[in-house]
Amino acid sequence: MPAEGGRTDTGPQRIPTGGKRTDTGAQRIPAGGGRSDTGPQRIPTGTGTQRAVRRGDNGPQRVPAAGTKPRAAKKLDTAAKPTETGHGHGHGPAAPASRRVRLLLIWLLAPLALATVAGMIVLYPWGKPSPTSVVPQGTPVHADVTATNTGPCLAQGQVQVGDQTDPNAKPCLTVELTMTDGPAGGKPLRLTVPIEPSTPRFTAGDAVVVAYNGGNAADPASFQLVDFQRGTPLLVLAALFAVAVLVLGRWQGLAALVALGLSFVVIALFVLPAILAGENPLVVAIAGAGAIMFIALYLTHGLSARTSAAVLGTLVSLALIGVLSAIFSAASSLTGLDDSTSTLIGSLGHGIDARGLLLAGVVIGALGVLDDVTVTQTSAVWELRRANPDLTWQELYRSGLRIGRDHVGSAVNTLVMAYAGAALPVLLYSSISGVGLGALLGSEEIAQEIVRTLAGSVGIVAAVPVTTVLAALIASREPAGSLTTKAVPAHP
């Protein structure tokens, strides 16, 4: 029988040399200072920096002296603090970046953002009158077609005598209209339109647009039939697009729609006025694309380190596209004077940098595809870093680059098909010109599309390694604790 105040052991004990007992579990100390052991104890798993200890005894224990109050063991609460690295059933948003990563991104992006804002302020045509076309275009008014008739081309007031017509004369379409607005609203109008291969085919019931030149509203010569009304179907299609984005994307879809609207605002209120005022189109496009990029990416994907890495990759790639386009458009002696640009210059009444306008179109056209590539790459790198915080930036880069290779092919194909679709009439016209393939590819219209497509494609290809290495360098500097979100603890 042990002495008073001695230990009472009821379970198997391992006694090390020297008579001291080695225990690791939290023990219950009976009153009176005696200690009672009931066998191996189960140690609850700790969290954070606590290391889980396996069941058993692995260290010497201090036994309180007789009559002293034992120290209470610390309570380990595993339910209140879920493990950070363990598997859970909850998946929250990405954790915010650490302070040092935020400071790094601020130092990198703040000068670029300030340069974009300063460029927009300097390039905007403050106080300058809005340019107008020197070629009379007429005021658009609306009308409804009530009847059409094909016959000889007769001037206003002429009538046909007999049924003999010139077999070589081209027929005309006589259109009966009812004006729905404008100075002749509610009044009938008859117009004659020569039937050419490029003439639209108007039929009864069509809603059309008529150009009014400001003359006598009762004189049909003051009006010219120019186009169809397309407002309603376009609004319906836009509504379907918005509903599809909202149903799938929900709040992020709403943010994407707002960003899209603001992008059009930048183009309409900054890019177009600045170019029309005579500023360098390429510089204007770079400033406008930078503003669109900051607005669209941060508004759609949130203010985070991931998005900031995508912004950096997009900026570098846009600069590369601009440089390549400028070099090879000059080397190819591209003038940028296609039909639409020539019409614009004629309407302005003064010259414009047609080659710069071509380059501006390349930069703005490639922006949308670049956003997609850079966001995908940064997300891939961050997920790799979260899955394995021990990866170095070189390992993150190599793994992210393997993912990016699969994305490059589809992204480049998207850009090429977009430009080919836009240039399809030019391609068809060139194919029937009867010249050889070399002369066809070297023509102004086709060469412009080749430079536009290849320069944009090179920028997209370069965006993958550029964005991946930037994301890897930034993500590797994130502390492991800030990479994972607090997950719901696994079920017992």
pLDDT digits (tens, 9 = 90+) for 108-131: 899 999 999 999 999 999 988 888
pLDDT the model gives residue 2: 44
Q: Which of 296, 355, 289, 295 is nearest to 316 (CA)?
A: 289
Higher pLDDT residue, 273 or 199?
A: 273
The helices-and-strands tally (H runs, E runs) of the chain is: 11, 7
- pLDDT of residue 83 exceeding 90: no
Q: Do the Cβ atoms of 145 and 228 come closer than 8 Å?
A: no
Higher-pLDDT residue of 291, 1: 291
Q: Which of 66-75, 244-253, 387-396 has the lowest mean pLDDT?
A: 66-75
Residue 15's pLDDT band, with cuts at 50, 70 and 90, is very low
pTM score > 0.75 for this model?
A: no
Instruction: pLDDT band for 162, please (50, 70, 90 cuts).
Output: low
Judge whether 145 and 175 are in contact, CB under 8 Å: yes
Banded model confidence at residue 480, pLDDT cuts 50, 70, 90: low
- 2-6, 343-347, 375-379, 423-427 — which is least confidently predicted? 2-6
The pair of structure tokens assigned to 31 is 């009153």
Q: Quick: pLDDT tens for 399-408.
A: 999 888 877 8
Give tens-digit pLDDT for 190-200: 888 888 877 78
Task: Look at residue 487 in the predicted model and tell me its pLDDT.
Answer: 39
Q: Which one of 101-105, 272-276, 332-336, 370-374 scores highest in mean pLDDT?
A: 272-276
Q: Which of the given ranges, 14-23, 156-165, 472-481, has the highest pLDDT on average? A: 472-481
Which 8-state DSSP code applies to residue 60?
B
pLDDT at 115: 92
The predicted structure's pLDDT at residue 165 = 58
Q: What integer pLDDT is reported at residue 163 of this predicted model?
A: 56
pLDDT at 448: 86
Amino acid, single-letter form, for residue 125: P
Checking if the pLDDT of 23 tops 70, the result is: no
**For 305-326, what is the mean pLDDT?**
90
Q: What is the DSSP letter of 339?
A: H
pLDDT at 429: 75
Cα 173 from Cα 154, distance rounded (Å): 10
Predicted local confidence at residue 293, as pLDDT: 93
Q: How far is CA 165 from the centre of its chain?
A: 60
Measured distance CA(3)–CA(66) in Å, rounded: 11
Q: Which helix (H) or strand (E) holds 461?
A: helix 444-475
What is the model's pLDDT at position 17?
45
**14 pLDDT more than 60:** no
pLDDT of residue 378: 92
Asked if the model's pLDDT at residue 358 lies above 80, the reply is: yes
| 56 confidence band (pLDDT: 50, 70, 90) | very low
* pLDDT at residue 94 is higher than 80: no
